[in-house]
Amino acid sequence: MVSFDVRTATASQLQELLQGGSVTSEDIVEEYLQHIDKHNDRLRALVEVAPKDRVLSIARQLDEERRGGSTRGPLHGTPIIVKDNIATHPDLGLRTTGGSFAFLDLVPFETASAVRRLTDAGCIVIGKANLSVRTTVAGMPCGWSALGGQTQSPYVQGGWDPREKFGGHSGPGGSSSGSATSVAAGFAPLSVGTETWGSLIMPATRANVFTLKPSRGVVPMDGIMPVNDIYDIAGPMAKSASDITVLLDAMIDIGAPHRPDGGYASKATASWRGLRLGAVDTANWRLDEMLAEPDDNLFQQQEEDLAKEYSKLKDDGHNFVRGFDYFLLQMKSSTVKTVAELVEFNKAHAHLEMPLGEAPLKLPIKTSYSTRSKTEPWTETQTLGRVREGEKCAGQEGVDRYLDENGINILLGPADSWLTDFACVAGYPSASLPLSFWKKNGRPFGVIALTRKHREDPLVQLMSAWESVFPCITPPTL
């Protein structure tokens, strides 16, 4: 008899069971696959599930290694979900489609570096997560793809309301919706998502799970379909802070710059000591008992400047075509080989890729990447200049100055807020902290924590301290 609940089990808890010999990795994978089979048709969190015989074979191999006295570390034999814009080699039995029919036959030469490191560490990829598809449709709701359909929150009573606008209260939020929902619903204890702007933080807060968006450049981004090759960042999602740290440690090089001695896992101390927290007043939001009361005037002044800078820096049309064409060039094979060919595919298959009609085809590429490829990419000099402008405006003159002038080291605010803009443009790390549930429909909500570049360690400490106070794992009723 299986001795764990897939809805609440963390990776660390599963490791204790594996080490104690009460379950095998084969048992664990079997249990998660059965759970997926029961609930994915409704939740649409996964675009594809790995072939059962293949993943069970991998699990048995890892069980044999363990019985032989060999272990690959704290992820040995742990199931994981990977977002479907991240390349996986055919040996894993999963395609890389970005949620689009255009890429059903896309074949990568190899698995993306960040995920390959996870499989080397013993993770078993059991599915590819659904996502919001901006490469095919403009104006579609969060968590929708042509292949995967509409991801549903496992918590929201009544499900997604199609009458709501983009990012409405019933939606799963952000392009990594499938990754977050998979963990929340118990399809796997761990997942990997990606973010350009808010696409890790927003779905995590709406799924009652933790995530950590690392600083720009911490996690290798090769083999990942780009939205904006400057700002895209991959990050872990899990039910506990310790799982986040173990996953992040495995995704990056041991000798990576700014990685703390002992890895990020060593910073999950559950201690509040040394943390100095402040909150930006967004719609008069406060956690008064815990927080300092810093001066919000600086951010109010910065918000207008950031909006101008953000519109330039996040103008994806300048870099999407270049980045996506380069990604496709790195693949072993694909019928659709360029963005221009993707445009033509979408026109020819509008009933699949454009179910709302052909209006999106008339929009400029910066809001509908599938439309045309007339926007000129920035030169290397222009790109570097824009990045530096963003780092100065949102980073040094925004977050850094705010922290310094108020004597704090972490900034908090509602996870569904414009603080994700600062993290995006500055390239700074941020984390999502689960907090509570909206009484109206059961939707989870939480807090975003933001700090300086390459200071993931205090965010890890805060996450671990947070879960020692707040009851973070509240499973949904499926």
Supply the residues annotated as catalytic. Answer: 83, 175, 199
* 326 token code pair: 């380069």
Contact at 8 Å (CB) between 112 and 92? no
Q: What are phi and psi of 433, to 5 degrees?
A: -115, 115
256, with CB counted inside 10 A (0-12, 13-18, 19+), is middle
SS3 state of residue 432:
strand
C-alpha–C-alpha distance, residues 222 and 341, integer Å: 22
Phi, psi of 157 (to 5 degrees): -70, 125
Closest C-alpha among 18, 32, 135 to residue 75: 18
The closest alpha carbon to 48, from 103, 128, 104, 124, belongs to 128
DSSP 260: P
Q: State the pairing for strand pair 430-437/277-279.
A: unpaired
Exposure of 406 by Cβ count < 10 A (0-12 exposed, 13-18 middle, 19+ buried)?
middle
Separation between Cα atoms, residue 67 and residue 135, nearest integer Å: 45
Q: What is the DSSP letter of 224?
A: B
Pairing of strands 430-437, 124-129: unpaired
Do the Cβ atoms of 231 and 314 come closer than 8 Å? yes
